[in-house]
Chains A and B, each alone.
Chain A
């Protein structure tokens, strides 16, 4: 479905800006194979001249239009009429035409791009915020349309002329009171419903929630599950090394059965509590399909909990996209590869979750224990040496 929209949109856009697409297609046609390019500064390529030519053409076209309008203006003045009022008329009419185009473009956009948005929320609170979003959209949409109709219509209706004087109308206290109170009441409604939803979302996670530890680093996410005891082991940044990426404290009995995964598996309809952390700089764990986001802050644990309501398979049917996947991505600028930090999330039913859980092995084994100890010893030695060197 998405792809059909995409191709449809391409056509629409073509119709919208033929000029623009000429630029675009010519780039594709004229671009050279990047592998074939020598490392020396390249001679000016054909696309450079093409753009220069295009620019010169645009300037020339503009200059011609400008001169024509100027000539028209001149004849108008010679006929003894005031140019200013002519321009008032022209611009007033353009404002009206612009207004019509403006609303049709927005309608087209809601129609076309509106279908490309995120699918329905896959969490309980997400459905609530989506509802809130729609309410807000209705209120603001009404204001948007009304005020813009007035703006463009007034521009047309009251365009200046030499024949009439404006209506001297300096204030009306009643009107001011109305249009202070009405927005205030509407906003009070929005604040109240927003506040209720917000407090709902931010209540502490229920006891039975599945605990997860998600740590952001440049440029990946590290996901840790609590294992059979359902309790996550503690961690400390001083313990981080190549084999112990998040600095889990394996002296903690709870940590011994923890395991790491590349993809997040979640059972449907069970609350899950994400415990977020960051190893180096700020990251932000953003799960758009669940309408969930929380920053990951070095030195300050943060959490977010929600209940997924739709499995990945169900969502694939709903979106008619067999490749659909839930994602966790980074929304806080974190460095050069910020644009590619993702983890796939798979929501499954309880049975499938139990099966998957059974296949997961604790990270802490005899072998990893040895590696961790070695790395720890090496780190302490290096630190010792550094201290000596400093002395």
Chain B
């Protein structure tokens, strides 16, 4: 195959332009326009942000587990935020806020989509690079600047933003309401503004690349599910992030220019404010119009990655490829009309509540279809337990556990009692936090050879998986029960209420599990950074996968393929096809070379494959 042979003249012809401008350190590693390098930049920035988010969570878990205890070493780390070794209540609020912001936006949106959309879209659709490499580079640098501002806000005198990651006004609009609503909130808004810009630039690039730059033969219905997921994610982002930006800009107006979009009838700090006619509920509508698609922006890439990894490692075609695409499209569409389920008890018209309850419970159907398809894919597979596969199966488990509790919360009548309690915390940390994180880990383990040309240590990967999987359930499962007992979220301590005291032991257990789970992440970090330099050299197609990225050489080159971009002849899931000697047939193999294994379905004849199987026997 032409892809394997390194035809020198072709390389020359293609990289002509670059030969005159030899790559410097700056153009290769910093202001790189190569999608593979940008993917790595997103990943490593995302990992650093994830560490910050994780450390914050450990700090507030210490507070929640031992609210009456003094930890002098905390004062060493945090200074005035932990006087006498006890975390300050307003800093607690800040930590919760920044933890949420970092994890939702910087890690699971930019870190996940940014890394894998950038890496895989050109490689899996067969393109030399993104539609606009320059905008792609800008996208990373906007993200980087946003990350720096968000991190910097942790160090200012008045403390970072502290109104929760949803920054509901008036709390976030009035510096008098809490210390974090001063400069900290200004920096938060600035950072998020840049973040939205970054996300939009990434999104339009992903969309245009998928739509316009697919290689010969790569019909939309032959794309790997990863690409489908990234594509729909980008569409969601492009349609919903501007609404958040609009909401943020109006909030900036309210904060700095005396407008009253969200403010009305407020008496604070000993005086009645002049603002009149605004509505805090308006902000919530704008926020959740992004906010709900946002959780699918987080989970869909993880589902795409998982689909690909499960098929590859079960050595089976993904079950119901078309159903998987339809369910992704269904989820993407419905995600725009469910945002009101975050607002059942805001005083919104009850009729509207009924409508949102209806749409919200419908979205469970495509999610259920996906789960069943995953299980059917595993059935009678030949499961190769790579760390990536294990994290993918962990994702399936978490997606089920967390998804099912969504059926409670999406029901307006039940939400009255569950809204803003720990039940919600348990729900979204499992279904979107942990499972998306598992998708990200799976992706890193699976495509590490593609990114760095070396393998990660599988043994350490197994330790990492089992410790993390157990820790996640130990941390979040008990929270359902705490929530069902009526304990609200974002409480600095549970000591003021008699009935919450009985959960103290459970909280300690959760905190210990969280600390052990966090320590387990260092196994990953060690493995990740060590393998960049000392990992075993990767082969071209280490997982025996069908997709296009494994036809590129191990060493990265600009333009991805030496010589011509390969053509695609088949769908990406011909694993263990009867009649073929090997258990995988790459997309680049024409049907003419696989006469012994061809079946009517390959040529568009939709027939039940069981019958086809019988015939071939």
Residues of A within 8 A of B (CB): 2-3, 5-6, 9-10, 13, 16-17, 20, 23-24, 27-28, 31-32, 34, 37, 41-42, 44-45, 47-48, 51, 55, 58, 62, 65-66, 69-70, 73, 84, 87-88, 91-92, 94-95, 98, 102, 105-106, 109, 113-114, 116-118, 126, 128-129, 132-133, 136-137, 139-140, 143-144, 147-148, 150-151, 154-155, 158-161, 164-173, 175-176, 179-180, 183-184, 187, 190-191, 194-195, 197-199, 201-202, 218, 237-238, 240, 247, 279-282, 284, 286, 288-289, 291-295, 297-300, 302, 323, 325, 327, 329-340, 342
Chain B residues, CB < 8 A from A6: 502, 505
Give 30 pairs: A residue, B residue, CB < 8 Å, sorted on A.
A9-B505, A13-B509, A28-B69, A41-B76, A45-B73, A87-B385, A113-B506, A143-B400, A147-B372, A148-B400, A155-B378, A158-B314, A166-B575, A166-B583, A167-B316, A168-B577, A175-B372, A187-B361, A187-B362, A190-B361, A194-B412, A280-B174, A281-B170, A298-B263, A302-B347, A335-B171, A336-B179, A339-B491, A339-B494, A339-B496
Residues of B within 8 A of A (CB): 66, 69-73, 75-76, 84-86, 89-90, 93, 163-164, 168, 170-171, 174, 177-179, 263-268, 272, 276-281, 313-323, 345-347, 350, 353-354, 357-358, 361-362, 364-365, 368-369, 371-373, 375-376, 378-385, 390, 393, 396-397, 400-401, 404-405, 407-408, 411-414, 416-417, 419-421, 458-460, 462-463, 466, 469-470, 473, 477-478, 481, 484-486, 488-494, 496-499, 502-503, 505-506, 508-509, 512, 516, 519, 523, 573, 575-578, 583, 601, 606, 608-610, 613
Among the listed B375, B414, B420, B573, which residue makes an inter-chain contact with A154, where contact means beta carbons less than 8 Å apart?
B375
| Inter-subunit contact A280/B93 (CB<8 Å) | no
Among the listed A10, A84, A327, A339, which residue makes an inter-chain contact with B89, where contact means beta carbons less than 8 Å apart?
A339
**16 further contact pairs, Cβ within 8 A, besides A155-B393, A168-B316:** A41-B75, A42-B72, A48-B73, A166-B381, A168-B578, A169-B379, A194-B357, A199-B354, A202-B350, A299-B265, A332-B420, A333-B93, A333-B163, A336-B90, A339-B89, A342-B496
For the complex formed, measure the closest distance between the CB of A166 and the CB atoms of chain B, giving whole angstroms. 4
For the complex formed, measure the closest distance between the CB of B155 and the CB atoms of chain A, giving whole angstroms. 18
For the complex formed, measure the closest distance between the CB of A268 and the CB atoms of chain B, giving whole angstroms. 20
Chain A residues, CB < 8 A from B266: 237, 279-281, 298-299
Known: A170-B601, A331-B488, A332-B420. A44 touches B481 (CB 8 A): no
Among the listed A132, A161, A293, A300, which residue makes an inter-chain contact with B382, where contact means beta carbons less than 8 Å apart?
A161
**Which A residue sits closest to B267, measured CB to CB?**
A240
Among the listed B89, B354, B416, B477, which residue makes an inter-chain contact with A336, where contact means beta carbons less than 8 Å apart?
B89
| Inter-subunit contact A297/B365 (CB<8 Å) | no
Whole-angstrom distance between the alpha carbons of A109 and B276 in the complex?
50
**Which A residue sits closest to B173, measured CB to CB?**
A281
Known: A51-B73, A281-B171, A294-B347. A169 touches B319 (CB 8 A): yes
Chain A residues, CB < 8 A from B523: 62
Among the listed B277, B368, B492, which residue makes an inter-chain contact with A183, where contact means beta carbons less than 8 Å apart?
B368
| Inter-subunit contact B576/A167 (CB<8 Å) | yes
**Which B residue sits closest to A341, measured CB to CB?**
B496
Known: A151-B393, A191-B361. A337 touches B89 (CB 8 A): yes
Whole-angstrom distance between the alpha carbons of A2 and B400 in the complex?
32
Whole-angstrom distance between the alpha carbons of A70 and B460 in the complex?
10
| Inter-subunit contact A113/B478 (CB<8 Å) | yes
Whole-angstrom distance between the alpha carbons of A160 and B458 in the complex?
16
Whole-angstrom distance between the alpha carbons of A166 and B264 in the complex?
64
Known: A218-B177, A339-B89. A158 touches B375 (CB 8 A): no
| Inter-subunit contact A293/B417 (CB<8 Å) | yes
Chain A residues, CB < 8 A from B519: 55, 58
For the complex formed, measure the closest distance between the CB of A197 and the CB atoms of chain B, giving whole angstroms. 4
| Inter-subunit contact A118/B486 (CB<8 Å) | yes
For the complex formed, measure the closest distance between the CB of A330 and the CB atoms of chain B, giving whole angstroms. 7
| Inter-subunit contact B512/A24 (CB<8 Å) | yes
| Inter-subunit contact A284/B420 (CB<8 Å) | yes
| Inter-subunit contact A151/B378 (CB<8 Å) | yes
**Which B residue sits closest to A65, measured CB to CB?**
B463
| Inter-subunit contact A338/B492 (CB<8 Å) | yes
Whole-angstrom distance between the alpha carbons of A338 and B491 in the complex?
7
Whole-angstrom distance between the alpha carbons of A143 and B368 in the complex?
10
| Inter-subunit contact B512/A20 (CB<8 Å) | yes
Q: How many A-B residue pairs have CB under 8 A?
A: 407
Chain A residues, CB < 8 A from B320: 170-172, 175-176
Whole-angstrom distance between the alpha carbons of A22 and B412 in the complex?
44
Chain B residues, CB < 8 A from A137: 408
Chain A residues, CB < 8 A from B512: 17, 20, 23-24
Chain B residues, CB < 8 A from A159: 383, 385
For the complex formed, measure the closest distance between the CB of B525 and the CB atoms of chain A, giving whole angstroms. 13
Chain B residues, CB < 8 A from A336: 89-90, 93, 178-179, 492
**Which B residue sits closest to A188, measured CB to CB?**
B361
Among the listed B86, B404, B484, B497, which residue makes an inter-chain contact with A144, where contact means beta carbons less than 8 Å apart?
B404
Among the listed B93, B323, B396, B485, which residue makes an inter-chain contact with A118, where contact means beta carbons less than 8 Å apart?
B485
Among the listed B319, B473, B484, B497, which residue makes an inter-chain contact with A329, where contact means beta carbons less than 8 Å apart?
B497
| Inter-subunit contact B69/A31 (CB<8 Å) | yes
Chain B residues, CB < 8 A from A98: 466, 469-470
| Inter-subunit contact B177/A335 (CB<8 Å) | yes
Chain A residues, CB < 8 A from B419: 284, 293, 331
| Inter-subunit contact B380/A187 (CB<8 Å) | no
Chain B residues, CB < 8 A from A288: 417, 485-486
Among the listed A136, A170, A323, A340, which residue makes an inter-chain contact with B321, where contact means beta carbons less than 8 Å apart?
A170
Chain A residues, CB < 8 A from B407: 136, 139-140, 187, 190
**Which B residue sits closest to A334, measured CB to CB?**
B171
**Which B residue sits closest to A162, measured CB to CB?**
B382
Chain A residues, CB < 8 A from B488: 286, 329-331
For the complex formed, measure the closest distance between the CB of B311 and the CB atoms of chain A, giving whole angstroms. 10
| Inter-subunit contact B462/A116 (CB<8 Å) | no
Among the listed A51, A69, A106, which residue makes an inter-chain contact with B459, where contact means beta carbons less than 8 Å apart?
A69
Chain B residues, CB < 8 A from A161: 382
For the complex formed, measure the closest distance between the CB of B566 and the CB atoms of chain A, giving whole angstroms. 23
For the complex formed, measure the closest distance between the CB of B446 and the CB atoms of chain A, giving whole angstroms. 15
Whole-angstrom distance between the alpha carbons of A45 and B376 in the complex?
56
In the complex, which of the residues A143, A164, A169 has the most CB atoms of chain B within 10 Å of its own CB atom? Answer: A169
| Inter-subunit contact B385/A34 (CB<8 Å) | no
For the complex formed, measure the closest distance between the CB of B298 and the CB atoms of chain A, giving whole angstroms. 22
Chain B residues, CB < 8 A from A44: 73, 76
| Inter-subunit contact B397/A151 (CB<8 Å) | yes
| Inter-subunit contact A170/B573 (CB<8 Å) | yes
**Which A residue sits closest to B67, measured CB to CB?**
A339
**Which B residue sits closest to A238, measured CB to CB?**
B272
For the complex formed, measure the closest distance between the CB of B75 and the CB atoms of chain A, giving whole angstroms. 7
Chain A residues, CB < 8 A from B411: 132, 136, 190-191, 194, 198
For the complex formed, measure the closest distance between the CB of B204 and the CB atoms of chain A, giving whole angstroms. 33
Chain B residues, CB < 8 A from A151: 375, 378, 393, 396-397, 400
**Which A residue sits closest to B323, measured CB to CB?**
A176
**Which B residue sits closest to A338, measured CB to CB?**
B490
Chain B residues, CB < 8 A from A105: 473, 477
Known: A159-B383, A180-B365, A195-B357. A333 touches B168 (CB 8 A): yes
| Inter-subunit contact B609/A88 (CB<8 Å) | no
**Which A residue sits closest to B401, measured CB to CB?**
A144
